[in-house]
Amino acid sequence: MNLFEVPQPGVAIDGSDDRYPVRRIYCIGRNYGAHAREMGHDPDREPPFYFMKPADAVVENGSSVAYPSRTADFHHEIELVVAIGKRGSNIEKNQALNYVYGYAVGIDFTRRDLQQEAKKLGRPWDTAKGFDESAPISAIHTVTDIGHPASGRIWLAVNDEVRQNGDLSELIWGVAESVAELSTLFRLEPGDLLFTGTPAGVGPVLAGDRITGGIEGIDEIAITIR
Ligand code: MN
């Protein structure tokens, strides 16, 4: 008998009744050149860097998300999400795809005003990135079903108006490199998700907005803001 009931965060798995139990959520910053430039950085000179969200920040596809507190600039970032399926540290790049269980479409919701303030003051990004309901995600599609998509349109629309429109082939650090590099910093385990960064076109959303997005060959996602 446990003192408290603490639910295990999880993500649907396409074609299965099983759930993918979420252990950690890693995210990469500035992984598409055009987005790095829109945020005022030169993408060519920066190695990948990582930040985290709590596991229970995941939100089921088709849900609504509450407009978060303490922000007036709540931004969408559509991203390819990698689901890790095997334990590994210091993984070689040419082995890294063997550690991937599947892929999903996610949104890295961001309190942009708090992030800009944190950058200016040299403070951590937790309040800007790791808040409640900040990680909506589609079902995971297994590598067995869809392989390892290296190209394909990635897009996001707000109230049917397309705001982000890129291609997975534009990733500065591809999935294999990103997983290999991350595994030099943390021991990867099944249940670890990696949000791989967003293409250009990030911007604000408001209560009442309907956000749709997708990645060709993977899935689509729909979230409303309440
Ligand atoms: Mn992001």
Q: Is 90 exceeded by the pLDDT of residue 45?
A: no
Distance 94 CA to ligand 1 centre (A): 25
Pairing of strands 64-65, 219-225: parallel
Q: What is the mean pLDDT of residues 140-168?
A: 98
Tell me the pLDDT band of 39, cut-offs 50, 70 and 90: confident
Distance 206 CA to ligand 1 centre (A): 18
Distance 79 CA to ligand 1 centre (A): 7
Cα-Cα-Cα-Cα dihedral sign, residues 224, 68, 52, 2: negative
Distance 2 CA to ligand 1 centre (A): 36
Distance 5 CA to ligand 1 centre (A): 31
Distance 99 CA to ligand 1 centre (A): 22
For residue 200, give its domain range. 10-225
Tell me the pLDDT band of 34, cut-offs 50, 70 and 90: confident
Distance 1 CA to ligand 1 centre (A): 39
Q: Is residue 193 part of a domain?
A: yes
Distance 52 CA to ligand 1 centre (A): 10
Distance 80 CA to ligand 1 centre (A): 10
State how far Cα 15 lies from the chain centre. 22
Q: What is the mean pLDDT of residues 112-141?
A: 98
CATH, residue 145 = 3.90.850.10
Q: Is 90 exceeded by the pLDDT of residue 40?
A: no
State how far Cα 150 lies from the chain centre. 16
State how far Cα 192 lies from the chain centre. 11
The predicted pLDDT at position 80 comes to: 98
pLDDT 10s digits, 74-106: 999 999 999 999 999 999 999 999 999 999 999
Distance 93 CA to ligand 1 centre (A): 22
Q: Is residue 102 part of a domain?
A: yes
Q: Is 90 exceeded by the pLDDT of residue 42?
A: no
Distance 34 CA to ligand 1 centre (A): 13
Distance 15 CA to ligand 1 centre (A): 27
The predicted pLDDT at position 84 comes to: 99
Number of domains composing the chain: 1
pLDDT 10s digits, 158-180: 999 999 999 999 999 999 999 99
Is the distance from CB of 127 to CB of 109 less than 8 angstroms?
A: no
Q: Is residue 121 part of a domain?
A: yes
Helices (H) and strands (E) in the chain, counts: 5, 18
Q: Is 90 exceeded by the pLDDT of residue 41?
A: no
Q: Is residue 5 part of a domain?
A: no
Overall pTM > 0.85: yes
User: For residues 52 and 27, what is the distance between their CA atoms, to the nearest angstrom?
Assistant: 6
User: For residues 176 and 148, what is the distance between their CA atoms, to the nearest angstrom?
Assistant: 10
